Amino acid sequence: MAEEKLGQSTDPSEAPRGADEAVVVLDFGSQFSRLIARRLRESHVYCEIFPPNVAEEQLAHLNVKGFILSGGPASVFDDDAPQLPAFVLSSGVP
């Protein structure tokens, strides 16, 4: 079975880097991130999974049309809780 890496798709029928439109799944530690990505791909939506500390430059090759925040077990009130990158909020992308 092929191994899926963050930011990459194992499905060869998926669009190559630089796809016309893409959804980014930000994985905050959820056990469902890959399931979310699979369901998107089954609906013929190109997506890639990235950690929450992704740099904006790492998404430059994508025409991002949406972000999905996939939560994790950490409390948002913890001092070391993962933070949403500021560029996600300022991008104007849903």
Residue 51 inside a domain? The answer is yes
Residue 11 belongs to a domain: no
pLDDT, tens digit (0-9, with 9 covering 90-100), for 31-84: 999 999 999 999 999 999 999 999 999 999 999 999 999 988 877 788 888 889
The confidence band for 12, taking pLDDT boundaries of 50, 70 and 90, is: very low
Residue 78 forms part of a structural domain? no
Residue 27 maps to a domain:
yes
Q: How many domains does the chain have?
A: 1
Tell the burial category of 15 from Cβ atoms under 10 Å away from its Cβ (0-12, 13-18, 19+): middle
Instruction: Say whether pLDDT at 87 is over 70.
Output: yes
Domain assignment of residue 14, yes or no: no
Question: Tokens in use for 2?
Answer: 């092929």
Nearest CA-CA partner of 24 in 84, 69, 89: 69
Nearest CA to 29 out of 53, 8, 46, 9 is that of 53
Cβ atoms of 88 and 67 closer than 8 Å? yes
16 falls within a domain: no
pLDDT at site 3: 45
Q: Is residue 59 part of a domain?
A: yes
Examine residue 45 and state whether it is found in any structural domain, yes or no. Answer: yes
